[in-house]
Structure 1
Amino acid sequence: MRARLGILAAALMAAQPAPAEMLDFDALDGWYDDNHVEALASFLRTCDLIDDSDWKPVCALAADVPQDDASARSFFELFFKPVVVGDPPALFTGYFEPELDGSPVPTGRFRFPLYRRPPELQEGMAYHTRAAIEGGAIAGRGLELAWLDDAVDVYFLQVQGSGRIRMTDGTVVRVGYAGSNGHSYRSVGQEMIRRGTHTLDQVSAQEIAAHVRAEPTAGRELLDTNPSYVFFRKIGTLDPKDGPIGAMGRSITTLRSIAIDPRYTPLGAPVWIEKDGRAPIRSLMVAQDTGGAIKGMQRADIFYGTGSGAGNAAGTVRGGGRMVLLLPIDRAFAMLDQ
């Protein structure tokens, strides 16, 4: 999803040792009320991809845990230690998989292209900016995967990193992240705050979309302040019931998967989420995704699912709280000894 970084090593990769505190499970607010079977199922989706000696025996045992909540909870309590990395409060936001209307060819209605990755674009290479691409820098080369009827939808599909497109012939095409143009992500919401048109409490995905649609010319210039641009690929192997592909190359799970900063949170690790504010969450999720805007030790983007309902829920999430890593016991003690 969003500017994906690919599969990274499970070991924490911060340049400097991060402040860390080990907790007891009793200290996790709501721990005993969660559905641990669901959390275990999400963990099992990707734990075999964690290439680290501390994780391999834990993952092997996970596959044999009986499918009842007491057994699933006992598994996490026996083989993990809760560790707070960094200093709360955390920042939680939300993302989703859009469902949009589109066409395989340009028409009077469908005029805004989604591009596949240009063949000359190499990993880490700085390519054309968003403004240049939207201005036609790669147009007419046959790189168009589909055409949408709203430039704002194109932008937010890039922010989310994946989506489902209902074509005019009735088929549904799923697209996923295929690379970016190598420019750093800049928040359009922060730019609106900087310009003084909005305050922090007014900024949401819905408000950004409404603001841009109300003033198309100025709105396009606003979107272009984010130079990052995402390219897509068609994904034809996913079951319609499955979520989009995350950074670990497997489908992610509604309200059980999060995007994190892999410098501080290992991809594949269970993470206890205590999100405060509106619609609070107390739930065990799994770090299975990354994003260009997800930076920091106490930072997570929660996957809310597919479609407009998920988008409405995700677009207004901006809350504090605490995120707590669940690390294999040896890894947890090794971190505290750093």
Structure 2
Amino acid sequence: MRAFLLIIALSGTLTGALLLGAGTARAAPAPLFPQAVLEPTRFAELPGWAQDDHAKALTAFRRSCGAIARKGDRVTPPRQVFSALRPICARAARLPRQPSDAVARRFFEKEFRPYTITALEQANGFLTGYYEPEVEGSRTRSGDFATPLYARPADLVIESPPGGGPPTNKSGAFRKVDGALVPYHDRAAIEDGALGDEGAVVAWIRDPADAFFAHIQGSVRVRLPDGEVLRLNYDGHNGQPYTPIGRLLIERGLVPREKMSMDAIRAYIAAHPEEGRALMRENRSYIFFRIAHELTAEDGAVGAQGLPLMAGRSIAVDKAIHVYGTPFYLDADLPTGPEGASEPFERLMIAQDTGSAIIGPARADIFFGAGDEAGTVAGRIQHPGRFTLLLPRALDPARARVPLPRPRPATAPEPAPAASLLPAAVSETP
């Protein structure tokens, strides 16, 4: 079976003789995941599956269902997965508001089939972690708080992706000069004052390194002197290439590869302020923020699906390959224990975000929550892992077609819209 699916992944199409039997020349539809190798497995074969907290995963899945119900069919490929998720969301809405773990587990096992997924010619996927920083700051500039976090500039033009749809963090970004579009300012230029009158500041913080890591994470909590917390979220980028400065430190022999982490990067910058500032400026990418008034102190950062992320249950995936709301089961040994001790990470996750460095069918960024502790854990994660994709049972991964549902009896009532029965925590952000 694995060899058969590998042929599908490599070829992109098969003749009707392979899928439909000899004697027909009709070509088969393209596969759902031409970039990947899929191998069917069983839930019972997933390490730790029976011990996982499926009810928490169901809470995250229902949040995604609210966005799926609102979005309609305006999604990028694979559209078939999105279409197959919608009736599953309707059935999820009819479950008890606070289902037992047994009920949640049966729901996932009934609605989905598990497939191990890897990139071509790779044995495992790859995992990293991210979090929402929390720093002290102010709405006004002062001697203590002199590092700006900028709002989206008025002259920033971000292009739409090919085929339409909203811009992403991979879209190009420009400004007009004499009527022509030119690339937007890079990090060094912005830090040197290039925004001028276009640069509105949403908050001022103390440490330039904190601003840099807020750009990497895409969100930040700013605790004001009166105790109020501003929730700042991603609101655009400058379109310049992202350069991981951890890689530069390794290449230059400044930090050993085996000791590389976010804490190691921070330690280097703190110990070498001038060199650290120059190092950060080598990453030309720059992020702009908005105040997320819709978020409470308990909500996670808003992901690309437009929902508050759930610590330990939300992941960022490659949006060009996967649909938001898709469940994944991750199996890895990660340094999440005390003082970075390695321990099993066996957990059902929901795809709810994306990132410019998240590329490939078995690549994910795990959201660990907010604050320094979450940041320490997230910064350690650069590890291989096994990815199991949960596909709706209506789908055949070797085909792009979704089987049509059987006609519903005329007397059967229509299901309630998925969003109407979801928990109150479902975000209404666009």
TM over 0.5: yes
> Mapping of 1:143-158 within 5 angstroms?
143-158=200-215
Structure 1 Cα separation of the partners of residues 196 and 153 of structure 2: 11
Q: CA deviation at 1:84?
A: 2.2
> Mapping of 1:22-171 within 5 angstroms?
22-50=40-68, 51=73, 52-66=82-96, 67-86=99-118, 87-123=122-158, 124-125=172-173, 126-139=183-196, 141-171=198-228
Structure 1 Cα separation of the partners of residues 193 and 55 of structure 2: 49
Contact 2:303 2:309 in 1 (8 A): yes
Q: CA deviation at 1:252?
A: 0.7
Q: CA deviation at 1:17?
A: 4.1
Residue equivalent to 1:286? 350
Structure 2 Cα separation of the partners of residues 116 and 19 of structure 1: 42
Deviations 1:267-322 (A, max 9, x none): 11111011214232101010101112212222111111111111121111222221
Q: How many residues align?
A: 324
Structure 1: gaps spanning 5 or more residues: 1-11
Q: CA deviation at 1:233?
A: 0.3
Residue equivalent to 1:215? 272
User: Alpha carbons of 1:77 and 1:140: their partners in 2 closer, same or farther (altered >3 Å)?
Assistant: same
What amino acid is the match of 1:305?
G
Structure 2: gaps spanning 5 or more residues: 1-30, 74-81, 159-171, 174-182, 335-341, 401-430
Q: CA deviation at 1:88?
A: 3.6
Deviations 1:65-102 (A, max 9, x none): 23011111111111101122224422111111111100
Contact 2:117 2:362 in 1 (8 A): yes
What amino acid is the match of 1:44?
R
> Mapping of 1:315-330 within 5 angstroms?
315-330=379-394
User: Alpha carbons of 1:88 and 1:286: their partners in 2 closer, same or farther (altered >3 Å)?
Assistant: farther
Structure 2 Cα separation of the partners of residues 45 and 263 of structure 1: 21
Structure 1 Cα separation of the partners of residues 227 and 42 of structure 2: 52
Residue equivalent to 1:6? none
Residue 303 of structure 1 pairs with residue 367 of structure 2:
yes
Q: Secondary structure at the match of 2:394?
A: helix
Contact 1:20 1:336 in 2 (8 A): no
What amino acid is the match of 1:78?
K
Structure 2 Cα separation of the partners of residues 88 and 72 of structure 1: 30
Residue equivalent to 1:9? none
Structure 1 Cα separation of the partners of residues 310 and 139 of structure 2: 29
Is 251-260 or 62-71 further displaced after alignment? 62-71
Is 42-51 or 301-310 further displaced after alignment? 42-51
What amino acid is the match of 1:308?
D
Contact 2:153 2:199 in 1 (8 A): no
Residue equivalent to 1:174? 231
CA RMSD, Structure 1 to Structure 2 (Å): 1.7
Q: Secondary structure at the match of 1:326?
A: strand
What amino acid is the match of 2:102?
A
What amino acid is the match of 2:140?
V
**TM-score (normalised: structure 1):** 0.91
Structure 2 Cα separation of the partners of residues 215 and 63 of structure 1: 54
Q: Which has the higher contact order (CA 8 A, sep 6+)?
A: 1
**TM-score (normalised: structure 2):** 0.72
Contact 1:96 1:307 in 2 (8 A): yes
Larger radius of gyration: 2
> Mapping of 1:12-27 within 5 angstroms?
16-27=34-45
Q: CA deviation at 1:13?
A: 8.2
Q: Secondary structure at the match of 1:310?
A: helix
Q: CA deviation at 1:330?
A: 2.4
Residue equivalent to 2:327? 270
Contact 2:231 2:293 in 1 (8 A): yes
Structure 2 Cα separation of the partners of residues 83 and 92 of structure 1: 18
Structure 1 Cα separation of the partners of residues 320 and 58 of structure 2: 24
What amino acid is the match of 1:39?
A
Q: Secondary structure at the match of 2:156?
A: coil
Structure 1 Cα separation of the partners of residues 274 and 225 of structure 2: 28
